[in-house]
C-alpha cells in the first residue's frame, strides 16, 4: 500500500537532482532557462525530468527566479479576427519563452476606468511580471495609458484615432514612461500598397467603406486612404459604417447600386473596404444586381481572413503579420524585463513600433472596365 502511495506521489525537484547527479539549484537553473549551465548538464537534467515526468509548478519557478513568469493580458475586440489572431500569436510565443499568459477580456467600447483598474488589481494579486494591453479603440487606449502600473506595459494599438499617440503618451504616469512600449501593424504602409495596386490597374473612382470610427484600425486605414487619394488625385467616395459586419456593408452597397440605377450616376470601378467581412457583403450585393467582379466592379478587403483565397473570385486583401505582431509584443516584454535585446523594428511611426502587412493581389481586383 505504501509503495502505491509513493508511485502516485508527484516527483520533486530534489528527485530530479538526485537522478541527474546535480544539485537542486542546478535543476532550478535549467527550468528557468539560465545560461549558467553547461549543455551536457542541461541534457542530463532534461533527461531526468522526462524520465520522472516532473512538472515544475509556477510558484516554484517564481521562488527560484523572484518572478511569477506570468504575463497579464487585457484585450478588447475578442469577437473579431484581428485581436483573436494577435492573442493566439502572443500566447504561443509566451509559452516558447517559458511564460504563462493570464488573459482577461473586456468590451472594447464600454469598459470603464473602474473596471479596468479592478482587472489590474486582480492581476497584481497574481504577481504578474508585465502587462500586454490590446487596445483596439480610443476608449481602451485611454484606459491602458492612464493605468497606474509598477510593471512594464506593452500597448498594442494603431497609430491614428480620435486620440493622437502624443496625447496617449502624455496620459502615461511620468514614472511609468520608461516601462511602457507601443507596437502595432503598419496599416498606413499597407494602404499605400493597396493604392499602388488600384492605380496601376487604372482605377481613379473608388468607393471606400470605412469601419466603426471608435476603432483605431478603422481610423488609421481611413486617414491613410484619404491622404493617399489626395496625393494620387484619386476620386474617393467614403461610405462610413458603424460596425465591421458584412450585413451593414451589404445593405449600404445595395442602396448605392439602387440609387445609381435611378439617378444614372456612375458606379465606382473599385470598392476598397476596411475589412474582409465588409468585402463579402459588397460582393453579395454586386452579385445580386448581376454586376460581375472584377469585370464590372473590383473589390479589395483587409485582414485576409480564412477562405478569402477560395472566394469566387479570390479576394484581393491585406494580410497583417499577426505572428510578427505577437513576436514584437513579446520581445518588448522581455526587453523591459531585462531579459532580451531591443527588438529590431525598422519602422517606428508616431512612437509606435510597426510590423509590416502584405497585400495579396488576387483576382477580385482587375483592370478598370472599358467603356
Report pLDDT for 32.
67
Which overall architecture, per CATH, does domain 188-319 show?
3-Layer(aba) Sandwich (3.40)
Can you give the residue ranges of every domain in the chain?
2-65, 70-185+322-355, 188-319
Report pLDDT for 245.
95
- Average pLDDT over the chain, rounded to whole? 88
Confidence class of residue 63 from pLDDT cuts 50, 70 and 90?
A: very low
**Tens of pLDDT along 339-366?**
766 666 778 899 999 999 999 999 999 9
pTM of the full structure: 0.80
Query: Parallel, antiparallel, or unpaired for β 352-355 and 180-185?
Result: parallel
Strand, helix or coil at 300?
strand
Task: Kindly tell me if the per-residue pLDDT of 26 is higher than 60.
Answer: yes
**Average pLDDT for residues 226-246, to the nearest whole number?**
96
The CATH code belonging to domain 2-65 is: 1.10.260.40
- Regarding predicted confidence, which is higher, 334 or 357? 357
- Helices assigned H by DSSP within 264-315: 276-288
Which overall architecture, per CATH, does domain 70-185+322-355 show?
3-Layer(aba) Sandwich (3.40)
DSSP line for 215-256: BHHHHHHHHHHHHHHHHHT-EEEEEE-SSS-HHHHHHHHHHH
Q: Which of 62-66, 239-243, 244-248 has the lowest mean pLDDT?
A: 62-66
Task: Kindly tell me if the per-residue pLDDT of 6 is higher than 70.
Answer: no
DSSP state of 308: G
Closest CA to 280 of 307, 260, 318, 256: 307
The yes-or-no answer to whether 70-185+322-355 and 188-319 have a common fold is yes
Amino acid at each position: 500500500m505504501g509503495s502505491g502511495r509513493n508511485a502516485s506521489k508527484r516527483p520533486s525537484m530534489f528527485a530530479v537532482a538526485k537522478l541527474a547527479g546535480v544539485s537542486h539549484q542546478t535543476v532550478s537553473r535549467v527550468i528557468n532557462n539560465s545560461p549558467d549551465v553547461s549543455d551536457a548538464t542541461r541534457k542530463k537534467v532534461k533527461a531526468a525530468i522526462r524520465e520522472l515526468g516532473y512538472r515544475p509548478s509556477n510558484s516554484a519557478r517564481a521562488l527560484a527566479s523572484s518572478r511569477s513568469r506570468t504575463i497579464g493580458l487585457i484585450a478588447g475586440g475578442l469577437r473579431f479576427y484581428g485581436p483573436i489572431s494577435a492573442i493566439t500569436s502572443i500566447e504561443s510565443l509566451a509559452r516558447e519563452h517559458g511564460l504563462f499568459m493570464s488573459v482577461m477580456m473586456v468590451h472594447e467600447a464600454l469598459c470603464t476606468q473602474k473596471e479596468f483598474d479592478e482587472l489590474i488589481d486582480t492581476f497584481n494579486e497574481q504577481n504578474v511580471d508585465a502587462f500586454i494591453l490590446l487596445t483596439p479603440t480610443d476608449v481602451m487606449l485611454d484606459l491602458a495609458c492612464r493605468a497606474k502600473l509598477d510593471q512594464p506595459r506593452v500597448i498594442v494599438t494603431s497609430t491614428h484615432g480620435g486620440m493622437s499617440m502624443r496625447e496617449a503618451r502624455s496620459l502615461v504616469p511620468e514614472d511609468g514612461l520608461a516601462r511602457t512600449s507601443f507596437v502595432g501593424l503598419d496599416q498606413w504602409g499597407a494602404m499605400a500598397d493597396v493604392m499602388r495596386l488600384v492605380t496601376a490597374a487604372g482605377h481613379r473612382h473608388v468607393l471606400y467603406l470605412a469601419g466603426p470610427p471608435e476603432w483605431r484600425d478603422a481610423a488609421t486605414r481611413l486617414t491613410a486612404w484619404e491622404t493617399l487619394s489626395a496625393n494620387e488625385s484619386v476620386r474617393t467616395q467614403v461610405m462610413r459604417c458603424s460596425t465591421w459586419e458584412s450585413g451593414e456593408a451589404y445593405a449600404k452597397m445595395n442602396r448605392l447600386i439602387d440609387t445609381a440605377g435611378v439617378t444614372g450616376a456612375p458606379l465606382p470601378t473599385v470598392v476598397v473596404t476596411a475589412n474582409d467581412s465588409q468585402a463579402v457583403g459588397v460582393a453579395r450585393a454586386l452579385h445580386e444586381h448581376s454586376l460581375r467582379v472584377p469585370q464590372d466592379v473590383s473589390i479589395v478587403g483587409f485582414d485576409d481572413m480564412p477562405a478569402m483565397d477560395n472566394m469566387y473570385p479570390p479576394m484581393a486583401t491585406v494580410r497583417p503579420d499577426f505572428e510578427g505582431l505577437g513576436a514584437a509584443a513579446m520581445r518588448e516584454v522581455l526587453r523591459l524585463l531585462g531579459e532580451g535585446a531591443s527588438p529590431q523594428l525598422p519602422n517606428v511611426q508616431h512612437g509606435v513600433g510597426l510590423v509590416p502587412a502584405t497585400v495579396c493581389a488576387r483576382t477580385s481586383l482587375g483592370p478598370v472596365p472599358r467603356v
